[in-house]
């Protein structure tokens, strides 16, 4: 477990503080916090943008059809505090197979909000925790 509790809590705090400070859209206006999903797929693109970075993943569904998923994600600063260094971010490059835990979007599209990512080497990085008091 590369990502220690300390960095996890720090990220949670920063994410929450950031949300409160700037207060972009409400998380629950877009995502259903009670609908977790775990998906494994191939990274097709990572966008380091504000107000939220995005990770795109190609995932095969149960029928073998390829689905293009889009996940809202924290920015590079937050990932760095989660213990994911610049070198580590190579683990998020296109072509890598990763596993994400996320919550689903409410609008039924193939999108969600990432909670953690597991890299090909097995290291897991928690980007977001649903407990705002954990900071």
Partner 1 sequence: MKQRCINCCLSCVLAVLALCLCSARATAQGNQTTPRTADGHPDLSGLWIGRAGANFVPSDDPLAANLASRDATLLNFERDNAIMRRADPNKPLYKPEFWEKVQKLDQNGNTEDPSFGCMPGGVPRMGPPAKIVQTPKELIFLYVSPAAGGWGDTYRVIPTDGRSHTPLDDLDGTWKGESLGHWEGDTLVIDTIGFNDTSWLDITGYFHGENMHVIERMHRDGDTLTWQATVEDPDVLIKSWTMNARTLKRNPDPKAVLAESLPCVERDLSHLVTKEHH
Residues that bind partner 1 (CB under 8 A): 13-30, 33, 47-54, 70, 72, 75-77, 105-107, 109, 111, 130-135
**C-alpha closest to that of 12 among 32, 27, 1:** 27
**Identity of the residue, 76 or 123, whose beta carbon is nearer to partner 1 in the bound complex:** 76
Strands 31-47 and 53-60: antiparallel
**Identity of the residue, 105 or 119, whose beta carbon is nearer to partner 1 in the bound complex:** 105
**C-alpha closest to that of 92 among 46, 34, 52, 130:** 46
**122 DSSP 8-state letter:** S
**Identity of the residue, 49 or 63, whose beta carbon is nearer to partner 1 in the bound complex:** 49
**C-alpha closest to that of 92 among 100, 102, 104, 103:** 100
Q: Minimum Å distance from CB 131 to partner 1?
A: 5
**Identity of the residue, 70 or 123, whose beta carbon is nearer to partner 1 in the bound complex:** 70
Q: Minimum Å distance from CB 64 to partner 1?
A: 27
Q: Minimum Å distance from CB 56 to partner 1?
A: 11
**C-alpha closest to that of 39 among 23, 56, 55, 59:** 59
Q: Minimum Å distance from CB 55 to partner 1?
A: 11
């Amino acid at each position: 477990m590369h990502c220690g509790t300390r960095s996890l809590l720090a990220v949670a705090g920063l994410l929450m503080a950031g949300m409160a400070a700037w207060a972009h859209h409400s998380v629950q206006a877009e995502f259903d916090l009670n609908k977790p999903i775990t998906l494994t797929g191939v990274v097709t693109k990572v966008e380091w943008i504000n107000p939220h970075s995005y990770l795109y993943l190609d995932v095969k569904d149960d029928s073998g059809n390829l689905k293009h998923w889009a996940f809202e994600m924290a920015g590079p600063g937050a990932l760095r505090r989660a213990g994911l260094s610049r070198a580590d971010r190579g683990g998020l490059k296109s072509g890598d197979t990763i596993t994400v835990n996320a919550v689903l979007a409410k609008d039924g599209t193939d999108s969600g909000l990432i909670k953690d990512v597991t890299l090909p080497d097995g290291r897991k990085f928690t980007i977001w925790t649903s407990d705002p008091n954990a900071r």
